[in-house]
A = this chain, B = another copy of it.
Amino acid sequence: MSESLAMSTTNPDLQIIPLPGNEPLTHALAEQLGAERLELEHRRFPDGESYLRLHGDPGSRSVIVVATLDRPDEKVPPLLFAADLLRDLGAARVGLVCPYLPYMRQDQRFNPGEALTSRTFARWLSNHFDWLVTVDPHLHRYASLDEIYSLDATVVQAAPALAGWIAREIENPVLIGPDAESEQWVSAVAEHQNLPWRVLAKKRHGDREVTMDLPDMAGLESHHPVLLDDILSSGATVAEAARHLTRAGFDRPTVVVVHGLFGDRARELLRHAGVSRVVCTNSVTAPESDIGLSTLLAPAIKAHASQ
């Protein structure tokens, strides 16, 4: 931001700070919020310990920390150190913009002795931050974040951004959810542009074999299939769905997801399954992050940070 721009748009009571790797989204949000950007230096000592130093003074103002948390474990200590530091330096309120919120899946003990990481992780963030803005957390057995988060949380839905992208980029689409769990995302996106949608049904045969059943696709044969889900991690479910669609004679599908985590071999798997293109939002920074979220995030952040 140039000096003149900064002078014309900056809200002196609002400061925004990226954890390393979150600079592009922070830049976009700073412009939309008129927030002043501060630099947080983070490096590691030769023994792997984190060193953090804030360049700038948070005064007694409202500070926004931007940190998405894919591959979370090594990012968690510096993030919580940063929250403590800001409060220590006098910040009045410290909020977190965490577009991808991890540790939502272990929401019950599926086997005896399992750690309920979702609850512990929620407590850590709640103990260090005043508020949280995130995008489509993987809510499954929890009805809302409030069940486990004691801070003030707002969930932003990516559906309008996904629907807008599909409307612009894909001619004659049909939205496909790869399994029953994806229905909530698929129906929400379809609704925004009044698009046709279907959900595949997984069938389990014994312990290991999984088959998928295509739903009734009559009248949709000439549509371009868009496979839609909230998280792409191993890519296995989406790849399996893509194989079913191409075998049934459909176009090579486009995959659109909110959070592109891309586990080790996910891209290779999708390519082999016949996927023609993969896109995701910038909740995680990936080459596929073509769908920007800052316009959807800014109002939610402003509501918290201006309190």
Listed in ascending order, the chain A residues whose CB lies under 8 Å from chain B are: 45-56, 70-74, 76-78, 80-82, 84-85, 88-89, 102-103, 105-106, 111, 113-117, 119-121, 124, 231, 233-234, 261, 263-264, 266
Contacts and interface: CB of A to CB of B under 8 A. Distances in A.
A120 B55 CA distance: 19
Q: Which of A47, A89, A119 has the most CB of B within 10 A?
A: A47
Given A74-B74, A113-B89, A80 B50 contact: no
Number of copies: 2
A82 to B, nearest CB: 7
Nearest to A102: B49
The list of the 7 closest CB pairs from A to B, nearest first, reads A46-B263, A48-B71, A52-B115, A54-B113, A85-B115, A74-B74, A46-B234
Given A46-B264, A77-B76, A103-B49, A115 B71 contact: no
A75 to B, nearest CB: 8
A21 to B, nearest CB: 14
B233 A47 contact: yes
Given A46-B233, A88-B116, 18 more contacts: A45-B233, A46-B264, A47-B261, A48-B70, A48-B72, A48-B261, A49-B102, A51-B115, A52-B115, A53-B114, A53-B115, A73-B73, A73-B76, A76-B77, A80-B124, A81-B117, A82-B115, A85-B115
A114 B55 CA distance: 9
A198 to B, nearest CB: 26
A266 to B, nearest CB: 7
Contacts of A111: 53
22 contacts: A46-B234, A47-B71, A47-B233, A47-B261, A47-B263, A49-B73, A52-B115, A53-B113, A54-B115, A56-B113, A73-B73, A73-B74, A73-B77, A74-B74, A76-B76, A77-B121, A81-B115, A81-B121, A84-B119, A85-B116, A88-B116, A89-B113
